[in-house]
Each structure stands twice: as C-alpha cells, then as structure tokens.
Amino acid sequence: MRAWLRERGKDLSAPLFPTVRNGRLSSDAVQQLVIKHVQRAAVARPSLLSKHVTPHTLRHTTCAMRLLHAGVDPVVIALWLGHERIETTNVYVHADITLKERALERTVPLTAKPGRYRAPDPLLAFLESL
C-alpha cells in the first residue's frame, strides 16, 4: 500500500483505486474484482468456490483480524461487529496461526528452546518414504 500511495501522488481527491479512465470504481466493479481474484485463488484453494466472498466479507474479516492482533478481546469484537454469538468470532481466532504462536510462546517451559519445531532430516526422509 505504501508503494501504491507514493506512486499515485499527493492528490487526495483522486480515487485510491481508479478505473482505466481515472474514475472511481463502482461497487459492481469492486465485486467483479473480488470474484475474479477468488476464482484465481481457488486454483490453489478449491474450497474458496463454496464460500460467499464479497467486499463486505473482506472488510468484516480484515477488521476482526486487525482487532485480534491488537489484543482486543473476542467478546468485544463480537459485540462491535454485531455477531449474535461469540462462536462466530472464534472463527477468526482459529484462522490465525500467529495468534496461536503468540499463545504458545507464553507457555514454553524455561528449559525449552524457543521457536518452531523443525524435524530432523532422517525423520523427514522416513515420513516421505511412507
């Protein structure tokens, strides 16, 4: 984003993401871009095709994840985003490996070496031979 903001210049009245004619993207154009990129991403993650991904979904999820990373309690996030149940917000907690890693870092025994486990080469070779 920083590189794009530098490239577009100082004109704050110009659209952040302009059309080819330098106009504002319509909501339909944004929706079409989301659809296009979901289809492209589905090549690697086919389960995306069964999801209903919209610009609103992306805004909602981004907001929730940023709040979680800032340390905001999931209950507060659920209330703020209008979730009926806290379980809805827990999806965001389970989706982010960095939150899990941060929690695990707090539970490392004093004698353990910090960091992720890296399997030794003989173990990896054995597993690949199965």
Give the domain ranges of the chain.
1-49, 54-108
Which token pair is 14?
């110009």
Which token pair is 119?
């399997």
pLDDT in tens, 16-35: 888 888 889 999 999 999 99
Residue length of the chain: 130
pLDDT in tens, 70-128: 889 888 999 988 888 888 888 887 777 777 777 777 776 767 676 777 788 888 888 88
Q: How far apart are CA 32 and CA 24, in angstroms?
A: 14
Closest residue by Cα to residue 65 from 86, 95, 41: 95
Closest residue by Cα to residue 117 from 104, 103, 130: 104
Q: How far apart are CA 83 and CA 73, in angstroms?
A: 14
